[in-house]
C-alpha cells in the first residue's frame, strides 16, 4: 500500500518540512480565478450583477475572460467587497503601488 503525502513529508528533515509548510501557506493565499475569489467572498453571480448594474450572464463572461481592462477588474473586486491594489516590483527598488495608473506611492517592503 502507498504512503500518504503527509507520511512522506514526515520522513523529510525538519528544515525541508518547514519549507514545504511555508510554500503551502503561500499557495493557500493565491486564487486561480475570479470565480474562486467570488466564492471566497461568499457572493453569487447575481450579487455581483446587482452591484455592477449588469445582468448575471455578463458576470459569467467576465469571470471567464483571460484579459480585461483594469477598470473592469477593479469594479468586479469592489463588487465582492474588496479593494484592488497594483504593485510593481522592480529589481533593486522598493515595491511601488500604482493608483489610478498615474500616482506612485511608496509601499514598505514586507
Integer Cα distance of 17 and 33 in angstroms: 29
User: What is the predicted pLDDT for the residue at 104?
Assistant: 44
* pLDDT greater than 70 at residue 62: yes
Percent of the chain surpassing pLDDT 70: 89
Confidence band, pLDDT 50/70/90 cuts, at residue 52: very high
Instruction: Show the beta-strand stretches assigned E in 1-110.
Output: 86-88, 96-99, 103-106
Name the pLDDT band for 54 (thresholds 50, 70, 90): very high
The full length of the chain comes to 110
- Residue % of the chain over a pLDDT of 90: 46
User: With 80 as the cut, is the pLDDT of residue 100 above it?
Assistant: no
The arrangement of secondary structure in 31-106, i.e. its CATH architecture, is Orthogonal Bundle (1.10)
Where does CATH 1.10.260 sit in the chain? 31-106
Report residue 50 as a C-alpha cell. Answer: 446587482
Amino acid at each position: 500500500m502507498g504512503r500518504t503525502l503527509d507520511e512522506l513529508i514526515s520522513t523529510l528533515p525538519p528544515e525541508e518540512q518547514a519549507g514545504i509548510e511555508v510554500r503551502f501557506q503561500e499557495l493557500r493565499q493565491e486564487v486561480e480565478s475570479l470565480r474562486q475569489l467570488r466564492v471566497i467572498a461568499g457572493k453569487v453571480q447575481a450579487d455581483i450583477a446587482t452591484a455592477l448594474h449588469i445582468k448575471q450572464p455578463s458576470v459569467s463572461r467576465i469571470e471567464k475572460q483571460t484579459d480585461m481592462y483594469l477598470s473592469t477588474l477593479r469594479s468586479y473586486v469592489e463588487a465582492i467587497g474588496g479593494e484592488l491594489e497594483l504593485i510593481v516590483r522592480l529589481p533593486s527598488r522598493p515595491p511601488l503601488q500604482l493608483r489610478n495608473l498615474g500616482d506612485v506611492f511608496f509601499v514598505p517592503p514586507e
